[in-house]
Amino acid sequence: MTAEQMVEILSSETVNTLVLTITSTLFAYIIGLPLGIILILTDKDGIHPNAVTNSVLGFVVNMLRSVPFLILMVWMIPVTREIVGTTIGNKGTMLPLVVAAAPFVARMVESSIKEVDHGIIEAAQSMGAPTGKIITKVMLGEALPSLLVGFSITITTILGYTALAGFAGGGGLGKVAVNYGYYKYQDDIMTLAVILLVILVQIFQETGMRLAKRCDKRQ
């Protein structure tokens, strides 16, 4: 393989990894954020306690969180094929990624909001704040630094999942590492793929942590 070919493969697969990671994270939050909020609200110490909703949702989240991602992806193949039409490439990886990541996000969001002092929520209630305002202004507003830390952990975890997906037909840097390194013993391109993955993880992590620190007004 020429150097040009290597560069081309690595750069296009890096883009693939980025696209897959970012879109999956986005969808995981679209589903996971409301779930996390519902878990908080319906908790027995929450502002709308509801034992049934809380335990059913908690159970589903726990079950999905318990299945290792690669197994989930393989297990979901028939479902993925039915819904998306393919089980390979970015298209085929996205659905299982979101299914695996959304419950993870829900727990992340839940634990971030749990850190908010209950007294502040009580103060908002005493002002006559409706639930919507309490969620947006108090829970999300006060938990923002912690939510950003959670976001950076989530996005790096999802990046890790995309690499795993390389074993089961997924695209991106994981595929490069698996195909060239694992099956063809081409150590050079595999090492480069690994370095690129590490760099991406570090970029996401550092950006998230820095943002979190910068927006935290508690000093």
Pair of tokens at residue 149? 């830390």
Choosing from 44, 130, 183, 185, the residue that interacts with other proteins (CB under 8 A) is: 130
Task: Considering only the stretches 80-88, 125-133, 169-177, 189-197, report the one whose residues sit in contact with other proteins under the rule CB under 8 A.
Answer: 125-133
Residue 127 binds other proteins (CB under 8 A):
yes
- Angle at the Cα of 172 from the Cα atoms of 184 and 61, rounded to 5 degrees: 120
Residues 169 and 177: their CA atoms lie apart, in Å, by 12
CB nearer other proteins, residue 48 or residue 184? 48
The packing angle between helices 141-165 and 3-42, to 10°, is 140
Question: Which among 59-67, 84-92, 118-126, 174-182 is the span making contact with other proteins, rule CB under 8 A?
Answer: 118-126
Taking a C-beta distance cutoff of 8 angstroms, is the pair 200, 18 a contact? yes
Amino acid at 128: G
Minimum CB–partner distance for residue 151 and other proteins (Å): 16
Which member of 129, 153, 194, 209 binds other proteins (CB under 8 A)? 129
Query: How far apart (Å, rounded) are the C-alpha atoms in residues 137 and 9?
Result: 45
> Given candidates 31, 133, 160, 207, which one binds other proteins under the rule CB under 8 A?
133
Answer yes or no whether residue 137 interacts with other proteins by CB under 8 A.
Answer: yes
SS3 144: helix
Nearest to 60 by CA among 83, 82, 38, 93: 38
Binding mask 140-169 for other proteins (x = CB under 8 A): -xx-xx------------------------
Chain positions contacting other proteins, by CB under 8 A: 117, 119-120, 122-130, 133, 137-138, 141-142, 144-145, 215-219
